[in-house]
Amino acid sequence: MLYASYEGSLLLVPPSSNALYLNRTKGRAKTESYKSWIASSGYAVNQDKHRDGPFALLHRQIELEYVIRLPPGSDLGNREKAMTDLLVNQGVIQDDRYVVKITLTKMMNYKDGGPQLLWKAIGLT
């Protein structure tokens, strides 16, 4: 049963999961492209969050839906982790351990301009 849902759009697709971190001698560090994407996309998610009012998806089962515009040959699955982590970091969902379903859809009509990624978080009762 639906409790609440929130959605938004982003102008930038996250980097591939292969390009999120650099290996260092003392662990891993975020790449510059990942840090840049987090900064710009985090701002956009915050704008969507404030537009929709306070989020109430704490301690609830969550379904996530992503529609991502990618060029042919791009790996859709490599984009999910960064987006889900962003929704957690921006307070849309409390923790990704509450996610029970993720739906990924790839738009093949890749083009510049307009939203490149649409997201929706659905809280279930």
Residues 49-80 have pLDDT tens digits of 666 555 556 667 889 999 998 877 888 899 99
Tokens of 120: 């929706």
Q: How far apart are CA 59 and CA 2, in angstroms?
A: 14
User: Residue ranges of the alpha helices (H) in 1-125?
Assistant: 32-52, 80-89
2-124 CATH choice from 3.40.50.620, 3.40.50.2020, 3.40.50.720, 3.30.1330.70: 3.30.1330.70
Q: Cα–Cα distance between 68 and 74 in angstroms, integer?
A: 11
CB–CB of 58/120 below 8 Å? no
Q: pLDDT by residue (tens digit) across 82-110?
A: 999 998 888 888 888 989 999 999 887 65
